[in-house]
Amino acid sequence: MAGTMIIDGQRVGFDKEKNILDVIRKAGIDLPTFCYHSELSIYGACRMCMVEDERGRTMAACSTPPRDGMVVKTNTPKLQKYRRMVLELILSNHDRDCIVCEKNGRCKLQELAARFSIKNIRFGPLCKQLPVDESSASIVRNPNKCIMCGDCVRMCEEVQGIGVLGFAYRGSKIKVTTAFERPIAEVECVNCGQCAAVCPTGALVVKNETSKVWDVLNDENKRVVAQIAPAVRVALGEEFGLKPGEIVTGKIVAALRKLGFDEIYDTGMAADLTVMEESREFMGKLEKEENLPLFTSCCPAWVKHVEDKYPQLLKNLSTCKSPQQIFGALIKEHYKKIDEAQGKETVVVSIMPCTAKKYEAARPEYRNNGIPDVDVVITTQELALMIKQAGIVFNELEPESLDMPFGLASGAGLIFGVTGGVAEAVIRRCLKEKNPGALKEISFSGVRGMEGIKEAAINIDGREIKVAVVHGLGNASKLIRSILAGEKRYDFVEVMACPGGCIGGAGQPIPQSSLVKTQRAKGLYDVDRSSQIKRSEENPIIMALYSGLLSEKRYLLHRYLHHQK
């Protein structure tokens, strides 16, 4: 319903805004909140967004719909006093070790305490110190920094459909915890890290493993090899004031060389290998009409979700390893004899947008004779931290090129970083038509876009292939239920756990607006558009690998690329 409101004496029109808060922000007023996220349900717990009407009544802006002719004030003395009181109460029971906190400088509570000039805390703590949970391979949970905003609970339940976090107890004893207060590694957490992405404080943070990387970089007996995931190149610049979606691949390479990395490669090359094998596997299943639909397997949070909730679908999951693990296995084999001759050890460091990649690299099946294929995984956020620690002025770096032979990726391999990218890359491989017109037709087929569940019908060799693309595990569960109930039938399904795909991974810089993921996606599609190599099979590195390995070491190719049964 359209109308106008009077906000702090200013007339503001509204149309599709669902609450007063959206209208206030439309008016250019930054009303503070802790518990409001547009993609989550309205919770109204923090009370920081209270406004006052012409009669002096207060109301929560996030949960009050706008009405035509409504008059509100956002910054009266009563509201200022109220907000300071709320902040004092939160801070009184908060672990205030801000200087050594992972969220120092990026904490919403810290930001608002400074904004409202909170100098003294008049109230004492109500709860005793609780143990920090570091059991997860991906995230650290510190309940002493939790402000009960419920963001993590709603993200885990509503968007991801997992629900491993919830409120327990009442009154002053209330806390956010897991079932029976078990360590997070012992519940059905999929390590997606989306809870940490919405947490406004340091209660949930990505596990920091930069110290491991510094250790190997300073060891002369180690050859340190970096692989850069596609989504990192369109997000890292945000940490240095650049626009979302700006492509900074060359600057990343230059920064990594300054940090001391010996070789710097592109995970997109391994994504091309995934396309080759996944498309071969798909066409084989299609021909035999068995275990369809084929589900993609490059998202480790999705794979764990299947293992936990839908074990009957494991036979439908692609046997291909993720590009990260393919790359690690290839590099370790590539440098095996060179290491023996030089008395060195190759260490693979993955730079990923995803927290679940930390968990994936630690899985026992990704070890060869006890040696992990990928040694350390750091996120985009962690790489930004290392660059800052080294004093590197990122924006002034001259772009440098990736190393060969594993620094060349096709456009198909690079769009893996956005929802729909894997499906599009596989379709490009399966289609016999390879002209530019065919590529454009695929892009308009329905696999692109930010809708939670997308469907497309592609004609391959005279047969209509039904494709589904889904991101967010809540959407994935919804799709699976419709498949199992016989309501939907697909041949190929791409699933990414994080909303938006890897560009929205929890290891990425926290988006400052709802448009950020769209801008990052556009950045990856721009890279694809300007790439001379559009399809995975046209990548000369892939052609060379296949010509050598298929003729001489077929058993090695299978170990590199597929899960062992």
CA dihedral of 25, 27, 32, 37, whole degrees rounded to 10: -10
User: Per the structure block, which two tokens stand in for 462?
Assistant: 């005279």
Please list, in sequence order, all residues whose beta carbon lies within 8 angstroms of the beta carbon of residue 271, skipping any fewer than 6 positions away.
230, 298, 323, 409, 412, 413, 414, 416, 425, 536
Per annotation, catalytic residue among 49, 298, 299, 320: 298
CA angle (448, 451, 456) in 5-degree steps: 50
- For the chain, what is the total number of helices (H) and then of strands (E)? 20, 19
Per annotation, catalytic residue among 195, 502, 517, 536: 502
Q: Pairing between strand 345-352 and 376-379?
A: parallel
DSSP structural state of residue 186: G
Q: Is 52 a known active-site residue?
A: no
Residues in the chain: 565
Q: Is 396 a known active-site residue?
A: no
User: What does the alpha-carbon distance between residue 226 and residue 451 come to, in Å, rounded to a whole number?
Assistant: 33
Q: Is 278 a known active-site residue?
A: yes
Phi, psi angle pair for 370, to nearest 5° = 85, -5
Per annotation, catalytic residue among 157, 238, 281, 382: 281
Q: Is 192 a known active-site residue?
A: no
Q: Is 281 a known active-site residue?
A: yes
What sign does the CA torsion over 84, 85, 87, 93 have? positive
In terms of C-beta density within 10 A (0-12 exposed, 13-18 middle, 19 or more buried), how is residue 296 classed? buried
Type of residue numbered 343: G
Per annotation, catalytic residue among 239, 246, 277, 360: 360
User: What does the alpha-carbon distance between residue 528 and residue 513 come to, in Å, rounded to a whole number?
Assistant: 25
Q: Is 443 a known active-site residue?
A: no
Identify whether the C-beta of residue 229 lies closer than 8 Å to the C-beta of residue 352: yes
Q: What region, left, alpha or beta, does residue 515 occupy, with left being phi > 0 and alpha being psi -120 to 50 degrees?
A: alpha
Per annotation, catalytic residue among 111, 290, 365, 433: 365
Identify whether the C-beta of residue 33 lies closer than 8 Å to the C-beta of residue 62: yes
CA angle (276, 277, 280) in 5-degree steps: 90
Q: Is 318 a known active-site residue?
A: yes
Per annotation, catalytic residue among 17, 246, 278, 424: 278
User: What does the alpha-carbon distance between residue 453 and residue 472 come to, in Å, rounded to a whole number?
Assistant: 9
User: What does the alpha-carbon distance between residue 158 and residue 270 come to, in Å, rounded to a whole number?
Assistant: 33
CA dihedral of 110, 112, 114, 120, whole degrees rounded to 10: -80
Per annotation, catalytic residue among 357, 358, 517, 534: 357
User: What residues act catalytically?
Assistant: 278, 281, 298, 318, 357, 360, 365, 502
